[in-house]
């Protein structure tokens, strides 16, 4: 039997993660945790069963959870939710789309989601609570620190260090062997 998992946040990013979890087939989605006023509504057929205040009680029944709040303007909510889940004792698995490629010579830490058609090459280290979004390319010898969002079709070239809490926009490309931090606008070239 597949372990049950709670999805924390019911917006657009949650829909994308639902699709990845369904495709991966390792977990059964138990329900979504969102704002109190959304309890009873549903996202792609999965019910919003609780709000953040219910997380300690839900832990009696469910041991796995994943943060499904996106990260565009700020990652504060993602980071806060990740910390709350860890303090309660939830296990935050790595979720990888079967349509993604992650080299066996790379590592991905807890709570990180690797979306469809992402490519993680050799000797890459990806931290906790990251989003490696659809079609992102992360080249060899790269370090992605905790709480980063590497957006759709972004290219991180070899030997780059992406510092903690960085947002790297869609279709942005980095030069190799540099350090990237804070906010990278969509479509930009980072030298």
Closest by Cα among 55, 59, 58, 52 to 9: 52
Task: From 66, 93, 120, give the residue that closes a domain.
Answer: 93
- 72 pLDDT more than 80: no
Task: From 36, 64, 93, give the residue that closes a domain.
Answer: 93
125: CATH: 2.160.10.10
Given pLDDT bands bounded at 50, 70 and 90, which one contains residue 85?
very high
Given pLDDT bands bounded at 50, 70 and 90, which one contains residue 124?
very high
Mean pLDDT of 140-164: 98
- Whether residue 103 sits in one domain with residue 70: no
Task: From 93, 124, 152, give the residue that closes a domain.
Answer: 93
Its pTM surpasses 0.85: yes
Cα end-to-end distance, the chain, whole Å: 48
- Whether residue 82 sits in one domain with residue 14: yes
- 20 pLDDT more than 90: yes
What's the CA gap between 124 and 158, in Å, rounded? 9
Q: Is residue 191 part of a domain?
A: no
What pLDDT does 115 receive? 98
- 78 pLDDT more than 90: yes
Query: For the chain, how many structural domains are there in total?
Result: 2
What pLDDT does 71 receive? 84
Residue-range definition of the domain harbouring residue 17: 4-93
Q: Is residue 87 part of a domain?
A: yes
56: CATH: 3.40.50.20
What's the CA gap between 52 and 40, in Å, rounded? 14
Q: How far is CA 43 from CA 7, 33, 67, 180, 185, in A?
A: 11, 11, 15, 35, 29
What pLDDT does 139 receive? 98
- 137 pLDDT more than 90: yes
Sign of CA dihedral 108, 81, 70, 34: positive
Mean pLDDT of 122-148: 98
- Whether residue 114 sits in one domain with residue 88: no
- Whether residue 10 sits in one domain with residue 41: yes
Mean pLDDT of 59-76: 93
């Amino acid at each position: 039997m597949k372990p049950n998992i709670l999805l924390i946040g019911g917006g657009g990013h949650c829909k994308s993660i639902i699709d990845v979890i369904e495709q991966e087939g390792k977990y059964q989605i138990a329900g979504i945790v969102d704002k109190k006023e959304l309890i009873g509504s549903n996202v792609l057929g999965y019910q919003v069963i609780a709000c953040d205040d219910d997380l300690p009680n839900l832990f009696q029944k469910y041991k796995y959870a994943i943060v499904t709040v996106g990260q565009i303007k700020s990652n504060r909510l993602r980071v806060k939710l990740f910390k709350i889940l860890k303090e309660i004792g939830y296990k935050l698995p790595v979720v990888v789309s079967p349509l993604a490629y992650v080299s066996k010579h790379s590592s991905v830490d807890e709570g990180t989601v690797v979306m469809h058609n992402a490519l993680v090459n050799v000797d890459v280290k990806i931290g906790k609570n990251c989003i490696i979004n659809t079609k992102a390319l992360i080249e060899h010898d790269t370090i992605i620190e905790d709480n980063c969002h590497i957006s759709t079709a972004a290219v991180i070239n070899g030997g780059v260090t992406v510092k903690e809490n960085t947002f790297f926009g869609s279709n942005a490309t980095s030069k190799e062997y540099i350090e990237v931090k804070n906010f990278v606008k969509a479509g930009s070239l980072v030298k």
